[in-house]
Amino acid sequence: MIFQGIARACSLALSLVLGCGLAQAATGGFSSGVGSTATGVTVTTLAELKSAFNAGQHHIIISGTIYGGSTLTTLTFASTSWNNTTIEGASGGKAVLENIQLKFSGEQLSTGTNIQNIVVKNITFKGRIADLQALPKQIAGTSNNIGVNYLGVSLRRVTNAWIDHCTFYDISDDLISVALLSDNVTLSYNHFYFTAAWRDMSPDPVWNWVGTDTDLAGERLAMVIGANKSDSYTYGGNKLHVTMHHNWFGPNMRGRPLVRGWVHAYNNYFDNTGKPSGTITATNGVAYSKQQYNAFQIGSGSIIYSESNYYYLTNNSNQVGLDSSTDAYTFKETNNYYNGVTGTKVTGASFSGSPVGAYTYTLDSVQNVPTIVQANVGPK
């Protein structure tokens, strides 16, 4: 897997930036996934989407907005029959999956077998706030758990996946997850954020994700890589090789990515514009903080190389959050830029040269990252 990264020669002029970004979006990451080579089937309604899924179509093209209903829709791709699959939006940038989760889940497969070669690109994933507010109190691990684990895209036991030029916002759990021994994943040119309407929602329901009541408005989380310590790179079998590049995290993000994998993060834009502050009172009468608690969380068993990322107004920009205080982790950084940040941040050990041997890449100047990333992310 030898790739060439984003060329320095890309102009900051919008048209040229867009051209360079789209032409080379698959480069500079762990995944070499090309998805399906089959002719695409275009769908415009939920019924058509379900029909294509039930027929085992490996190349599905989303056209327009498809609404998953008030109690949410999850499409679960759960066997190796789904190897070599592409789900993408039609050109033009207007493909939307609302209240719909794509769950690639190989967790029931035999040990050592993962779903292979998955591509998701050019789609906006969003939740409808009023629908989530109207659901009864959600309790993980019970029959009343619709929405508890609702994400835009979930990768579980998947190898060689590429999530590119997508937008994720206003979804009740992490916006995306990479977990359960997934490996060789690239996340590029995606936008992860929450709206002010989500941040300030009223009523603000209380759900129970992991045995503790938490308000929905405060569940503004970008991403988790590795479900827990036993699913980490160090303690879980040396998987979870993930590249994150040219993604836009924010605004209104409360926390994460939470990283437990072997992660190379470069040229990402962490944006805390507006610096949410104050509290919101949930339906249980408890006041929850609106403030960002971190931008990037270093988790148990992780090995992280972070370079030429731009942090803007972030709070606790890099924070160690371990499952156990004695857990191992490695955090190295170089040439990250911190502009107007607050709170405290962990400083990574310095490094030079390429941290990866699986691919080549070329960095954009960190000072130009906000302009380049904002011009290129999301569906086109």
Please name the helix (run of DSSP H) or strand (run of DSSP E) that holds residue 215, with its range, or none: strand 213-215
Residue 15 pLDDT greater than 80, yes or no: no
DSSP single-letter state for residue 176: E
| pLDDT, tens digit, 9 for 90 and up, residues 111-137 | 999 999 999 999 999 999 999 999 999
Residue 25 pLDDT greater than 80, yes or no: no
**Domains with residue ranges and CATH for the chain:** 14-376 (2.160.20.10)
How many contiguous H segments (helices) and E segments (strands) does the chain have? 5, 31
Average pLDDT over residues 189-196: 98
Average pLDDT over residues 101-107: 97
pLDDT of residue 16: 27
What is the secondary structure of 34-92 as a DSSP string? ----SPPEEE-SHHHHHHHHHTT-SEEEE-SEEE--TT-EEEEE-SGGG-SEEEEEPTT
Where is average pLDDT lowest: 25-29, 36-40, 212-216? 25-29
What are residue 306's DSSP bridge partners?
A: 265, 333
- How far is 182 from 335, CA to CA, in rounded Å? 29
Where is average pLDDT lowest: 193-197, 252-256, 258-262, 359-363? 359-363
pLDDT of residue 242: 98
DSSP E strand stretches across 106-166: 115-121, 124-126, 153-156, 158-164
| pLDDT, tens digit, 9 for 90 and up, residues 260-312 | 999 999 999 999 999 999 999 999 999 999 999 999 999 999 999 999 999 99
Average pLDDT over residues 56-63: 98
How far CA 281 is from CA of 48, 104, 288, 293, in Å, comes to 41, 36, 6, 18
Please name the helix (run of DSSP H) or strand (run of DSSP E) that holds residue 243, with its range, or none: strand 241-245
pLDDT of residue 209: 85
Q: At CA 241, angle to CA 377 and CA 121, rounded to 5?
A: 30
Average pLDDT over residues 87-97: 98
pLDDT category at 212 given cuts 50, 70, 90 is confident
pLDDT of residue 33: 77
